[in-house]
Amino acid sequence: MQWKLCAKLTIALKIFSKNILLLFRLKEENIDKDIDKILGDQKPPDNYLALAIISTIVCFAPIGVFSLFYSLRVNQYWEEKKYAKSRRASILTRVICVWTIVAGIIFWVGILFGAIYNIFGNRYLVF
């Protein structure tokens, strides 16, 4: 008797969890659609393409490539009327550009200290 009740509760729990997941998925899709309706009347977000190119060439190319990728996706998403994704790609581009600049500064300072150490030895790098 208890085994049958336990089996019925398990089946009911599985059905309930599937319905909850479906509800959240539909709710998330509806939120994106609502955001797209709201943002459709505004101008497209900045794609930070110039910053992405400069930070890739000057600072640190391995990370800068990702900023270039997302920078080009901003306009593509906007043309496809995926406004929320376009905003997210714009923000992600800006964040990656900042991290590219930080990584570039660390990289070039390391190269500079390495060059000073190779040329002059340990006498000028006293901390």
Residues 101 and 52 in one domain: yes
Residues 78 and 33 in one domain: no
Burial class (CB in 10 A: 0-12, 13-18, 19+), 66: middle
Q: Give the residue numbers spanning the domain of 79.
A: 43-127
Residues 73 and 124 in one domain: yes
Helices assigned H by DSSP within 40-82 = 49-54, 61-79
Residues 57 and 107 in one domain: yes
Residues 100 and 52 in one domain: yes
Residues 77 and 101 in one domain: yes
Q: Is the dihedral of CA 99, 100, 101, 102 positive or negative?
A: positive
Inform me whether the pLDDT recorded for 11 exceeds 80: no
Per-residue pLDDT band for 121 (boundaries 50, 70, 90) equals: confident
Q: Whole-model pTM?
A: 0.65
How many domains, in total, are found in the chain?
2
Q: What's the whole-number mean pLDDT along residues 98-117? A: 91
Per-residue pLDDT band for 77 (boundaries 50, 70, 90) equals: very high
